Structure 1
Amino acid sequence: MPPLTPTGGTTRRRFLQIGTALAGSAALAACSSGPAAPAVGTPRPGGTLRAAFAGSGATETLDPHTQNLYAELARAKMLYDKLAEYGSDLSVVPRLAERFEPSADQTRWRVPLRAARFHDGRPVRAADVLASYARILGPTPGMRGRSGLATLDLPNCRAIDDRTVEFALKAPYAEFPNATAALGTAIVPEGATDFDRAPVGSGPFRFESFEPGRRFRVVRNPEYWEGAPLLDAVELLVSNDEAARVNALLGRQVEYAHDLSPTTAAGYADRVVVTRLPRSSMQSLAMKVDRPPFDRPEVRQAMYAMVDREEMVRTLLAGSGTVGNDLYGKGFRYYADDIPQRTYDPDRARALVRAAGLEGVRIPLDTAAAGSGMVEAASVLRDQAARVGLTLDVVTGNASTYYSDVRDEGVLAVYRSGALPIESHISQRLLSTSATNFTQWRRPAFDALYAQAQATGDDTARTGLYRQMQQQLHDDGGFLVWGFSDFLVGSDPRVGGIDPTAPANTLDWARFDRVWLA
């Protein structure tokens, strides 16, 4: 487990002593004088913010096209820009793109670019955009944005001039701007290769140093196209141990701790500022529908019926979330909230388990400390399964490589996801061609509905097609979505500028160019 690496003269030994001394101090909440309040007053320049995130150890990279974990996304956001980002309501917000201009048939999109510059002084050109997308769509494995950009007819895309790109698409794509806001679609200089030692982007901070699994440091970019950050520098430190992150915050080794559990947040609310980021994370199980036993619809139906969603939300989210209905994107555009809520039905689950001959069969359930509450969720699910005669063996894997490990291996895994538009969730995870298809859901009829939706310019008609897709997923899909949790971030009371309305993965989440220190 990679430790946090403190700076400013504090030794690793002393840091661990601080963590040990404070590990049991949740009892202090009983003496709380009320919740801590964030900094108020006029934002002021200067200072270094130290932020603690969960990491992925020695395998970490600064390549913005292969990012997966929140720490990697936060680093990429500091160094790079995309053509667009998701706003707090999951609508598209143009960034390097000034706007998006579709043709009448949705097969060509013209995009004028802002007057932005890379950290080495070169202007961001249409050629850089095309080269970035060509790299994402190229042969290198693990390119996160590949599925969303797969509709590009790259040979026929062109730079009209240095500040205007025209994208040609293989098929109509009514929501093409979503693809440019997807994870892993950052714009890098044409010919860029050295991402870990000398990364160059157009983002609000410039690279200074990087130690994989330990420390990352950037400094203010005074020429940022949207205005220079207030902070002089940001240091991002990593640990997969939530207690280490919060204890570093309590010991003033960091000023920002990402991804706190509800229990931790409640226990220290008198000493740190807790910011609740709404609708940030889908909490679920991923069942591989292409292999036993979850290749049988009745087994998936047994799983749907055996999960007590109310208990899961009450026990694991402690009031910081809401019950799910086995569909992604509750509250987002296109969400099919008219589909009846799945209810806890242990008698039906027990009957289906018996009929499937699964009594006494041991099924591995993968989990890891890759996010707060994931190991605990596996334990609760194991106990709920036992009530209906199903035996789940919890297998705790490597937190640093968990998502890549369970993407293709295993049969059942604890899974969570940050906020994305429903269209992006489908294109990235549920099409036959999706690169991150954790459930191995591949249905040509489903793919055809998605293609029809993207060729449909009328919003009402497109909404109806998304409703059909979600009904298929609700009836027969591989994601068992038991809840949606708010994301909890802890910060020192001296920190101002954290946006409380921004779900994870959106523009204003972990946006340190807007943060300041009192």
Structure 2
Amino acid sequence: MTSLPTRFGALVLGLALVTAGCGGDSGGSATAPAVQTLRYVAVGAPATAIYDPHGGIGNQSDLTRFALMYDVLATYAPDGNIKPRLATSFAPDAKLTTWTIRLREGVTFTDGKPVRAADVLFSLRRIADKAAENFGRLQMFDMDAARMVNDHTLELVTVKPYAEVPQALASFTFVIPEGTTAFDRPVVGSGPYRMTGGNAQHAVLERNDRWWGDRPPTPRIELMAVPDPQARAQAVISGQADVASSVNPATVRQVSGNPNLKVVHRPAVTMYPFVMRLDREPFDDPRVREAIKLATDRQELLDKVFLGYGKIGNDLLTPADPSSPAGVPQRTRDLARAKELLKQAGHADGLTLELATTASYPGMDTAATLFAAQLGQAGITVRVTNQPPDTYWTKVFAQSDFYTGFFGGIPFTDVARVSLLSNSPTNETAWQRPSWDAAYDQAMATKDDERRRQSLGKLQRDLREEGGYVVWGVGDGLDLASTRVSGLPDGPGFDVAFIEQVRLDG
């Protein structure tokens, strides 16, 4: 294992060298006279950094770079509601199956060419074609039926009535020019910044003065992918970077009181649920699942894994979502009831399980070890296996019987699409309930927002009671920054990637 000093030395070298890079859509050089520059260190593995904005985006560093370079149809506001961006309106027909989307006029790519409905439709169809990589992000649409009405209007058709089309088109709908085929280098965009140097691992971006939106306050951003949270934090502590995303709670405690640093909290965005497959013994027995949930000491996990930076969990997968049900009684630890349920399920003499975990995110392995000790008090013997981070999400995730999962504050409809419907591409708990699927479809066909949210809340209650997730707590996202930095996003989910309004004061 590489030592922290060596990793940090490489990071400092990378931050220095990125300013010497060149290339990008303008052909300019990154060696221009010094300008005010935001140095941002994001979560990302350099070896997997990409230029293609339409497939699977595993690195936050890639997502942030794409959000700076490309326009999207909409984003999420801090309150969880939709905020139109390149689109100006989303209008459904009476059946909620045909949606007319109007686009801003006067928008151009950084090469001066206009952004047309043809470019948007090309981008959406390409995202849909890459469904195997992006978990079927646009699977609710019939892209063969989509059409351009004119240069600034397009019409999308859904396969079923779908009331939340604006949400489905938020954040990831990066628009590129029609006909683009080369993705081994940066693709021209129409976003608030353009890439002028470096590469996918450490990029130099300069303000796009042609952008239609509010003028970004910072002329230049250097964005670097760094997988190690300690190295990210140390870069800011030492003054080699201005912002480090997703640092450890322990680091936050260590730097408290430092007058040159501040912490930005993104409430309730990190979740490490324990995942049980319902189609395999012993988790096919609802009594076993309930016993495991009752044996969990949620407060201890929150205190020791997230160091109190977060909220206790109640087995609801998306507690920050506007549709999350209110008034659900908090599930508390009850060892006596857990033992009784295990006895009823035929495990009076105990139960032996294997729990997989990894160190992909800070505290995942700690959570698993602590959880195993807690279950031991209910008569459940758990052997924890720590799997390599580089293969965990391909060999363990959605395959093992019992493992530590991850959710990052995404909306409930995204979770349902990816993991909960019978035909979901990654149904990790084997949650297959035809009646639940039908109720979901009915909810999505409901035009009234409040009625739809109530219906979706009922589905989340059902999942809490019968499903295979132990959601013990939700941790805050913790970003470390110089006190000179202001305007960092603090909302849920993908809001973290949209940093074009971040400024350096002084």
Cα distance in 2 between the residues matched to 1:195 and 1:267: 42
Instruction: Please give the alpha-carbon distance, in whole angstroms, between the structure 1 residues aligned to 2:401 and 2:197.
Output: 39
Cα distance in structure 2, aligned partners of 1:56 and 1:8 = 16
Give the match's secondary structure for 1:418: coil
Aligned 8 A contact 1:278 1:486 in 2: yes
The alpha carbon displacement at 1:188 in A equals: 2.3
What's 1:403 paired with?
A: 393
Distance, in Å, in 1 between the alignment partners of 2:71 and 2:214 is 14
- The C-alpha deviation readout for 1:192-218, integer Å capped at 9, x for no partner, is 233341222222221235556x42332
Equivalent-residue separation in structure 2 for 1:497 and 1:471 (angstroms): 36
Normalising by structure 1, we get a TM-score of: 0.85
Counterpart of 1:88 in structure 2 is 78
In the superposition, relative to structure 1, how do residues 132 and 256 fare at CA in structure 2: closer, same or farther (>3 Å)?
same
Decide whether the 8 Å contact of 1:275 with 1:489 is kept in 2.
Answer: yes
Q: Which runs of 4+ in 1 moved over 4 A?
A: 1-5, 7-12, 209-212, 358-362
Instruction: Give, in whole Å, the separation in 2 of the partners of 1:242 and 1:151.
Output: 36
- Provide the rounded CA distance (Å) in 2 between the counterparts of 1:9 and 1:373: 27
| Deviation for aligned residue 1:356 | 4.5
Whether 2:269 is the aligned partner of 1:280: answer: yes
Match of 1:351 among 322, 330, 340: 340
- Relative to structure 1, is the Cα distance of residues 490 and 139 closer, same or farther in structure 2, using a 3 angstrom cutoff? closer
Supply the distance in 2 between the matched residues of 1:77 and 1:438 (Cα, whole angstroms): 29
CA distance in 2, matches of 1:360, 1:208: 62
Matched, 1:490 2:480: yes
* Partner in structure 1 of residue 173 of structure 2: 185
Letter in 1 for 2:296: V
Retained in 1: the 8 A contact 2:359–2:365?
yes
CA-to-partner distance for each residue in 1:15-60, whole Å, 9 max, x for gaps? xxxxxxxxxxxxxxxxxxxxxxxxxxxxxx9422222223234123
Q: Match of 1:202?
A: 190
- Secondary structure of 2:470's counterpart equals strand
What is the aligned counterpart of 1:446 among 432, 436, 451? 436
Amino acid at match of 2:114: P
Partner SS, residue 100 of structure 1: strand
Match of 1:381 among 354, 364, 371: 371
Find out whether 1:512 has 2:499 as its counterpart.
yes
2:406 is paired with a residue whose SS is: strand
- How many residue pairs get matched? 479
Residues 74-223 of structure 1 aligned to structure 2 (within 5 Å): 74-115=64-105, 116-138=107-129, 141-144=132-135, 146-147=136-137, 149-181=138-170, 184-209=172-197, 211=199, 214-223=201-210
Deviates more, 1:394-403 or 1:105-114: 394-403
Amino acid in structure 2 at the alignment position of 1:68:
G
How large is the Cα RMSD of the aligned pairs? Answer: 2.6
- Secondary structure, in 3 states, of the residue corresponding to 2:405? strand
**Contact 2:92/2:98 (CA < 8 Å) preserved in 1?**
yes
**Aligned equivalents of 2:42 and 2:210: distance in 1?**
27
Q: Deviations over 1:474-517 (max 9, x none)?
A: 12112211112221110012222224x423412xx243311222
Distance verdict in 2 for CA 1:227–1:48, change over 3 Å: same
Q: 1:316 to 1:461 in 2, by over 3 A?
A: same
Give the aligned partner of residue 419 of structure 2: 429
Which segment drifts farther, 378-387 or 135-144?
A: 135-144
Q: Secondary structure at the match of 1:449?
A: helix
Report whether the alignment pairs 1:232 with 2:219: yes
SS at match of 1:280: strand
Structure 2 unaligned runs (5+)? 18-33
Post-superposition offset of 1:94: 0.6
- Contact 1:299-1:356 within 8 A present in 2 as well: no
Given residue 476 of structure 2, which amino acid in structure 1 is its aligned partner? D
